[in-house]
Amino acid sequence: LRLNRDGTIPGDNPSFGPAALPGLWSIGHRNAQGAARRPGSDELWLVEHGPQGGDELNRVLPGRNYGWPLRSYGCPYGSPVGAACQVSGGTHAPDFEEPKTTWVPTSTAPAGMAFYDGDKFPEWRGNVLVGALAGQTLWRIVLDAAGNVTAREEVATVKALGKRIRDVAVGPDGWLYLLSDDGCIVRVDRQP
């Protein structure tokens, strides 16, 4: 949903979806875990858990359908993986919006996310940073100007911690802060 701070519906919201519900911005998201706005734009980005693989990073566009529950890169829980469902099989397009990247066949269980806009790691400016629960890591995702993923890597120093990363934030001091599931706040303050 996209609402104004006072609870009213913006006049430029798309009109689509089941019964053209007012306020609906996009549909077909499975299990949103982290959201962030891309610096210098109004673009909303979202990471979602997929079923048995198929975790996604999406740029959320107005009036678009991201596929769930009709389409996914994962397989529904309880169903046998095989001929009926292949993890990473098929595509969302043309009927549904394609994710910008997926984690298949093994789920990383993405969690909090942030765009890096600090000054401590200048080569990371504009990169998406995504915490991972099952993966116990931090993903650094490089985007081009059009929002396409050009590279994706695990940050080795965070992976070495062996902690489930629940949330990611860039502090006003430019350092990167992580919240782990066991309640620790970790400051990444040296070149990873």
Calculate the alpha carbon distances from 95 to 58, 65, 74, 155 in Å. 15, 8, 17, 34
pLDDT value at residue 84: 66
Note the pLDDT tens digit of each residue in 36-77: 999 999 899 999 998 888 899 999 999 899 998 888 888 777
Q: What is the residue-wise DSSP string for the chain?
A: ----TTSPPPTT----SGGG-TT--EE----EEEEEEPTTS--EEEEEPPSSS-EEEEEE-TTEE--TTT--SS--TTSPSSSS--TT-S--TTTSPPPSEEE-SS---EEEEEE---SSSGGGTT-EEEEETTTTEEEEEEE-TTS-EEEEEE-HHHHTTT--EEEEEE-TTS-EEEEETTS-EEEE-S--
Distance CA 44, CA 23 (A): 16
Cα–Cα–Cα angle for 103, 29, 166, rounded to 5 degrees: 55
pLDDT value at residue 90: 67
Q: Would you say 168 and 138 are in contact if contact means Cβ atoms under 8 Å apart? A: yes
pLDDT value at residue 30: 92
Distance CA 90, CA 71 (A): 9
Note the pLDDT tens digit of each residue in 81-113: 665 677 776 677 788 999 999 998 788 999 999
Which of 19-28, 155-164, 180-189 shows the lowest mean pLDDT across its residues? 19-28
Note the pLDDT tens digit of each residue in 130-176: 999 998 999 999 999 999 999 999 999 999 999 999 999 999 999 99
pLDDT value at residue 137: 96
Q: What is the b/e burial string over 5-35, where b = at least 16 CB atoms within 10 angstroms of the residue's CB?
A: eeeeeeeebeeeeeeeeeebbbbbebeebbe
